[in-house]
Amino acid sequence: MRKVPVSALQPGLRLAKSVYGANNEVYLQTGAILTARYIQKLKELGFSSVYVYDPVLQDVEIPEATDVIHEETRREAVGQIRNLLLETASSHAKAVLPPKELSRTISDMVEQIIQNPSSRVINMADIRARNEYLYHHSVNVCVLALTVGAEMGLSRRELFDLGTGAVLHDVGKIKIPVEILEKPGRLTDEEFALVKRHTLIAEEMLSDNPVAAGIACMHHERVNGEGYPRGLKGAQVSLLAQITGIADVFDALIADRCYRKAYAPHEALEMLLAAGDYWFDYEVVRRFVNVVAAYPVGTLVELNTKETGAVVGTPKGFPTQPVVRVFLDAEKGWLADPYDLSTLEKRRFVVRVLDEEEVAFIKARFTGQSASRHRRDID
Minimum separation from the CB atom of position 173 to Fe ion (A)? 7
Residue with smaller CB distance to Fe ion, 41 or 196: 196
The packing angle between helices 100-115 and 133-151, to 10°, is: 40
Minimum separation from the CB atom of position 7 to Fe ion (A)? 28
What is the distance between the alpha carbons of residues 222 and 241, in angstroms, rounded to a whole number?
10
Backbone angles phi, psi at 257, to 5 degrees: -115, 165
DSSP 109-175: HHHHHHH-GGG--B-------GGGHHHHHHHHHHHHHHHHHHHTT--HHHHHHHHHHHHTTTGGGGG
From the number of C-beta atoms within 10 Å of its C-beta (0-12, 13-18, 19+), residue 361 rates as middle
Residue with smaller CB distance to Fe ion, 132 or 302: 132
Binding pattern to Fe ion, positions 112-151, x when CB under 5 A?
A: ----------------------------------------
Binding residues for Fe ion, how many (CB under 5 A)? 1
Minimum separation from the CB atom of position 98 to Fe ion (A)? 17
Site for Fe ion in 21-80 (CB under 5 A): none
From 304, 297, 309, select the one nearest 339 (Cα to Cα).
309
Q: What SS3 state is found at 187?
A: coil
| DSSP strands (E only) in the chain | 2-5, 14-15, 19-20, 26-28, 49-53, 300-303, 307-313, 323-329, 333-342, 350-353
Minimum separation from the CB atom of position 217 to Fe ion (A)? 10
Site for Fe ion in 157-176 (CB under 5 A): 170
Residue with smaller CB distance to Fe ion, 82 or 373: 82
Handedness of CA 115, 26, 248, 100 (dihedral sign): negative
From 337, 327, 338, select the one nearest 366 (Cα to Cα).
327
Minimum separation from the CB atom of position 220 to Fe ion (A)? 6
Minimum separation from the CB atom of position 141 to Fe ion (A)? 9
Residue type for 82, please?
R
Minimum separation from the CB atom of position 313 to Fe ion (A)? 32
Residue with smaller CB distance to Fe ion, 170 or 256: 170
- Strand order of the sheet with strand 2-5? 2-5, 49-53, 14-15
Residue with smaller CB distance to Fe ion, 15 or 201: 201
Residue with smaller CB distance to Fe ion, 55 or 229: 229
Minimum separation from the CB atom of position 228 to Fe ion (A)? 10
Residue type for 214, please?
G
Residue with smaller CB distance to Fe ion, 220 or 266: 220
Site for Fe ion in 296-355 (CB under 5 A): none
Handedness of CA 249, 251, 253, 256 (dihedral sign): negative
Residue with smaller CB distance to Fe ion, 74 or 219: 219
Which residues contact Fe ion (rule: CB under 5 A)? 170
